[in-house]
Structure formats: structure tokens, C-alpha cells
Structure 1
Amino acid sequence: MPWRVPPDQRQAGVRPDPYRIWLSEVMLQQTTVAAVRAYFRRFTERWPTVGDLAAAEDADVMAEWAGLGYYARARNLLKCARAVVADHGGLFPDTRDGLLALPGIGPYTAAAVSSIAFDRPETVVDGNVERVMARIFAITDPLPRAKPRLSALAATLTPSARPGDYAQAVMDLGATICTPKSPACGICPWIAPCRARLMGIAAELPRKLAKQPKPVRQGIAYVARRSDGAWLLERRPDSGLLGGMLGWPGAPWGDTAQEQPPAPADWHDPGIEVRHTFTHFHLILSLRIATLPETATPITGSFVPGDRFRPADLPTVMRKAFDAASATFDYD
């Protein structure tokens, strides 16, 4: 992982960069390592220090984040970077409490950064650690009800020596050996004290409450291209889903799709639907397509010239809509 400093280098005096640890932890929230690697490299190449990120344009950061999801993280990233520069001289606080005072940093991220970057004996509990603890201590209470107990048990194991290495080791144990399905108990370094293995229930833990079915919301995405090649886009409000991101105009999503065209035009219904799943609901977007004259005055949104428009700057659901609609336009 490009943000890691191996134990042998740490013992030789190489310290992790708090900026890189913080950035990786924010990116990894509800996102896999595989998905984060490329984003992390792009961010650190473009903005190698927290000062560089603090000075970045909001739109540039949101565009680089496009496709990673949970876009409030990107907005909080900028707020936090600017607070570190403005209030701390560009240096991250080295304690959990100091980190908690920064915008967008919660208990998990504060514990992770203080432990991994500064070797503070804080207890770091992510989903992988919860699974390891549930099995080591044979906790059969289901998640999320068992979370406080699992955190308390994890705290009893957190060492004062090399807590940063320990925190990363337990997370790695859960990610590679104590996996959700078919845990590799035979090669686990904690095979002896694992109560769930002794009871023969390791693969069953942690138990989880049954998930409620996700509701389905409907919407319409109006994909319009002006005759000179410009695209009609709108930036979503900073608060709410996909906040601050570029997207195709349309009415709010709800139980039914509402027609709310962003400009007078001969809107064509190609019979295309785009489907996307968010954390709390499934979305079905119906497409409307139009080619607008150069004199068009939109009711909502604004035109982005064709040579400045990058589909990669769109969040995933809006890029899906572009991919589905773009074949209907004549690019000649």
C-alpha cells in the first residue's frame, strides 16, 4: 500500500507522513483498497502536501474524487486541509483529541492517524478488526449492536509498544486471513486463543441483524449537447447526496420520476434507463436527450465547452447516464 511505512523502516527511524495516512484513511472509508490505490496516487502526485491540497480549487478536488463515491468525504477533505494550514501551521495534531477537533475527522480516523502516524496507543477499530475481535472473544451478539463491546475488547489488546504497527497488523489480519468467508484459521497467528475457532463457529461470526430492503427511487437525467459541442451540466448543492459534484440536470429523485427539463427543447425519450445503487436506496434514472441551439438559455445549469468536459469528472451514476446517452449524439 503506497501510504504504508514497513515496520523495519519505522524501526530505522522513517516516520509515516501524517498527511498520507490521513488521506488514505479518509479514502478507505467504506471503500476497498483496490479502489483507493489509483486515487491516492493521483492525489499525492497532484497535491503532495497538505498545504498543496489546502490551496487547491474545490472543483479540481471534486473532479479528481469523481467515481470514488461518498462525496462528502472530498468536501471534508478540503475543510480539514485548510484548517490544518490555517490553525496548525500545516502540521497535523499528534493526538487523538487534537485530530478530533479538525473538520471531518471522527473517532475512527482520529485513532488511526494518531496511532499509525504518531505511534500513540489508540485503539483502531474498522470492520476487519470487529470481525477479528468477534472471533477471538466469540461474541455472538449481532452487529451493529455489538460494536461498543467489540471496541472495548479491542482496547484491552492495544499495546503501548509499537501501537501503529499493531493497528495495521490487526486490520491486515482481518483483510487477508480472518476473512468474512472461509477464514484461514490454520495459518492465523492467533489460532490458539481464538474462542470461536475452539467452538467451531468462527465462520459464523460476526453475526449481523437482517438488512432491511432498500427502497427504489426514480428520476430523470436531461443530457443535452449544444450544437457547438458544449454540454449542459449543473453543480449539485454542497449538502446532500453527490454534493458539490457536476451532473445532469433533473428534478429531485422520489417515488416517481418528475419531468423538469432544464431548457426549452425537443426532448427525446430514447427508452433508456440507468440503474445505480447508493448506500440507502436503488436509483432508476430515465434519460431525456436533446441537441440545443447555440442561442439556448437554460433555466438551470450552465454549458461546459466540449474541449473542457471530461466524463471522468462526473460521479459514477452521472457517468453511466453519459455513457448510455452519448451514442445518440452526432459528434461530427
Structure 2
Amino acid sequence: MAAGAAKKAAGSDLARRVLDWHYRHGRHDLPWQQNPTPYRVWVSEIMLQQTQVTTVIPYFERFMKRFPDVVALADAPVDEVLHLWSGLGYYARARNLHKAAGAIRDEHGGELPADIDALEALPGIGRSTAGAILALSRGQRHPILDGNVKRVLARFHAVDGWPGRTAVSRRLWQLAEWHLPDEELRAYTQGMMDLGATLCARSRPSCEACPLNADCLARASGEPERWPGKKAKKEKPLRHTTMLMPVAEGQVLLQRRPPTGIWGGLWGFPEVQGDPTDWCRRQLGVKPSYTTPWSELRHVFSHFELAIRPVHAQLPTCPDRVADSDNLAWFPLDEVPTVGLAAPVKRLLGMLGRSK
């Protein structure tokens, strides 16, 4: 057999080996695998983007309890959706989920489209997510290319280059399409994701236990971690902000952030420039009884690091003008607000409550 034909035969057998491995060793008890409706699979796929399974499970279960179907999600206030998302990060996912649910309710009769183009047209659903939804919930034949599958294919075929590059991504999509079996699409899709998440891990892959090890070019090289190629690292810039924590009469003042950008749509402390006392005078019409700076807090994002300078401002009374604002509101200090909160804001609220 010619070398090209042998390679083709080994590659075309990948699906059967992944399926056999999945049936014996794959994950079968994840909550979204039980009653895998398009809605449940969709929510799980969005939550799993850049987030580990063990982190997602409790969030998914709480989310399904509160929003058992698309209409329940679409009808809910976005603040409640963000509240249940608090701690998962990448909050644009939650905003897009809520926005897409409204479109599904209003334009698709409350059912996720069974057509991949219509599914991709919804906010927050790209090609890979749409393919995963249709393969895992409906058994349709579509390739996926999440981070785990990229890693398996890049190593098996020794595809050089960072997958974020257009040419590399195009090659990986071709391979994902080529390896698709004609049947058992649910099991194959889950198996590929599981293989990448468990054995073909980013670091220290378990090549000896992998069902693809006999033909994996990355393993044959002796340096499997060389693939997939990595994006050139850039030093994360450090940004600074001052978060003002106004407190009065057992309540704390929070401000809703703009709908886009960092922590878009979440509630947090007002970020101020200059003197916090001047901000209270201008924005609230009251002078603090005192202000106390707290120790700096650091929060790391994917592209930068944020240095937060918290300042506690004790006010003599709750200013009346807050009641006229759509983006400012008082919340009891002894309760966790049922709105979306970024992790450092939630942490600071807990510290405020304990120091009351």
C-alpha cells in the first residue's frame, strides 16, 4: 500500500477508534447528557466555552432549575440571568444567551432551529457550537472544532501553526469534516470532546492510553505538546481603577455597567477618577462622613490585569436623587443582591457586610 493510501486508511479509521473508546471510557453521566434536548445542549455548550466541566456542572443545574426552557429564559430579566451566571466569567455569553432566547421565542416558536444556518444566525452561536448542538441533540452530521477537538486533530495530523490563524483553522475544519462518520454522530462528537479533555490534555497527554496513539504524528515525534501551535505571548498590561463603595443606613450603592464591554450589564461599584468625596457631592448631592481606602485588589482578565483600589465611603443618609436613576440602586448589606455581579465586586460586598 502506498504511503498516501496508508495514511488515508489510518485517518479514516479514526472515527471508529474514537467511538469504541467513548463507549468504554467516555463521559456518559454529565447533566446535559441526560435528556439532551437542543435547549439543554445549547446552554451547556455556551457555558463550556473556555470553562471546565467541573465548574460548569453546578451552574448548569441551577440554570436549568430556574430556566427549564427557552421561553422561561427569554421572559426573565437579564439581571436575573446575569446573577445566575455570576462567577462563570465571559459575561457576553450570558447576554447573548438571553438575547438569542428572545429571538428563538419570537421568531422560531420557542424551539431552537434544526437548520445549521438559522442556528448560526443567532447571537453567540458560531459554527462549532451550532454543529455541536445539532450533533448532540438531533444526531445531525456536522463537524465541530472546539478547543479539545482542535488539539486532537492538530496532534494526530501534526498540523503546524496556531489554530487562530485562518489557514490553520481552515485545515483543521477540513480534517474535522473528513473524519466524520456517517452514523453515531452523538457518540462521536462527545467522544472527540472527551478525548481532548481527558487523555489528549494540553499538558502531559496520556498518549499510552489514547486509542489514536498508533498513528498520531505528534506522539511519533516524541514531543506531542508541540501541537497545536501557540499564540505568541504578550505581556498583559496593568490597568488601574478606583471603586467607590458608598454605604448608608445598612445599604450599599451599586451601579449598573454599560451593556457592552468589560462586565457589560453587571452591577458593581461606581468607578471614579479623582477625589471620591467630590464624586459623592456631584453625583449624590451629599458629603461622606468619612472615606477609607482599602488594600488593593487584583483581577486577571484574558488580555489585561486590573488593579482595583476600593474606597469605603460612609454617607450620613441615603440620597434621594438615587431613586431617579435607572443605573444606580441601593441594596441591603446583609443580603447578596440577586443581580449579576463580577467576582471582585462580590468579594468586596462580602467584606463590607462583615465589617458592618
TM-score by length of 1: 0.88
CA contact (8 A) 1:220 1:288 kept: yes
C-alpha contact 1:311 1:319 (8 A) present in aligned 2: no
In structure 1, what is the Cα distance between the partners aligned to 2:290 and 2:170?
Answer: 53
Quick one: distance in 1 between partners of 2:268 and 2:86? 11
| Cα displacement (A) at 1:322 | 2.6
State the match for 1:318 in structure 2: 345
More helix by share: 2
Give the whole-Å Cα distance in 2 for the aligned partners of 1:147 and 1:61: 33
Q: Displacement of 1:313 after TM fit?
A: 4.7
Give the corresponding residue for 1:191. 213
The equivalent residue for 1:116 is 136
Distance 1:208 1:319, change over 3 A: same
CA contact 2:99–2:123 (8 Å) conserved in 1? yes
The offset of 1:305, in angstroms, is: 3.3
Pick aligned residue for 1:273 from 296, 303, 323: 296
Contact (CA 8 Å) 2:236, 2:303: kept in 1 or not? yes
**C-alpha distance 50-312 of structure 1, shift in aligned 2 (>3 A):** closer
Q: 1:38 aligns with which of 42, 45, 58?
A: 58
**CA contact 1:216–1:281 (8 Å) conserved in 2:** yes
Q: Closer, same or farther in 2 for the Cα pair 1:167/1:30, shift >3 Å?
A: same
For 1:40 and 1:191, locate their aligned partners in 2 and report how far apart those are by CA, in whole Å. Answer: 34
Give 5+ residue unaligned stretches, structure 2.
1-29
2:21 matched to which residue of 1?
Answer: none
**Number of aligned positions between the proteins:** 314
Quote the sequence identity (%).
39
1 CA distance for matches of 2:104 and 2:111?
6
After superposition, the C-alpha distances for 1:75-110 in whole angstroms (9 at most, x for unaligned) are 111111111111111111112112012222222211
| 8 A Cα contact 1:232 1:304, kept in partner | yes
Given the alignment of the two structures, is residue 98 of structure 1 paired with residue 127 of structure 2, yes or no? no
Aligned counterpart for 1:219 among listed residues 212, 230, 241: 241
Matched residues in 2 for 1:323 and 1:218: separation?
22
Q: Using a 3 Å threshold, how does the CA distance of structure 1 residues 221 and 190 change in structure 2: closer, same or farther?
A: same
Residues 242 and 315 of structure 1 are in contact (CA less than 8 Å); yes or no, is this contact kept in structure 2?
yes
Report the alpha carbon displacement of residue 2 of structure 1 after superposing the two structures with TM: 0.4
What's the counterpart of residue 32 of structure 2?
A: 3
- Out of 236, 251, 255, the residue aligned to residue 234 of structure 1 is 255
Residues 285-319 of structure 1: per-residue CA shift (max 9 Å, x gap): 10111222234346772212346543885210212
**1:62 match:** 82
Deviation at 1:266, TM superposition (A): 4.1
Residues 265, 290 of structure 1: 8 Å contact kept: yes
Question: How far apart are the structure 1 equivalents of 2:47 and 2:306?
Answer: 24
Considering only aligned residues, what root-mean-square deviation do their CA atoms show, in Å? 2.1
Q: Is the 8 A contact 2:298 2:305 kept in 1?
A: yes
User: 1:44 Cα deviation (Å)?
Assistant: 0.3
Distance of aligned partners of 1:313 and 1:75 in 2 relative to their CA distance in 1, 3 Å threshold = closer
Q: Return the letter of the residue paired with 1:202.
A: P
Question: Given the alignment of the two structures, is residue 172 of structure 1 paired with residue 194 of structure 2, yes or no?
Answer: yes
Instruction: Give distance in 2, aligned partners of 1:134 and 1:103.
Output: 28
Alignment correspondent of 1:246? 267
Query: Residue 16 of structure 1: CA displacement?
Result: 2.2
Distance (Å, rounded) in 2 between the aligned partners of 1:315 and 1:296: 25
For structure 1, the 5+ residue unaligned runs are 6-14, 252-256
Q: Which of 218, 221, 230 is residue 208 of structure 1 equivalent to?
A: 230
More deviation in 142-151 or 75-84? Answer: 142-151
Q: 1:301 to 1:201 in 2, by over 3 A?
A: same
Task: Kindly indicate whether the alpha-carbon contact (under 8 Å) linking 1:272 and 1:324 is maintained by their aligned counterparts in 2.
Answer: no
SS state at 1:269 partner: strand
Of residues 167-176 and 188-197 in structure 1, the stretch that sits farther from structure 2 once superposed is 188-197
TM-score by length of 2: 0.82
Q: Output the amino acid matched with 2:109.
A: G
Does the 8 A contact of 2:134 with 2:140 survive in 1?
yes
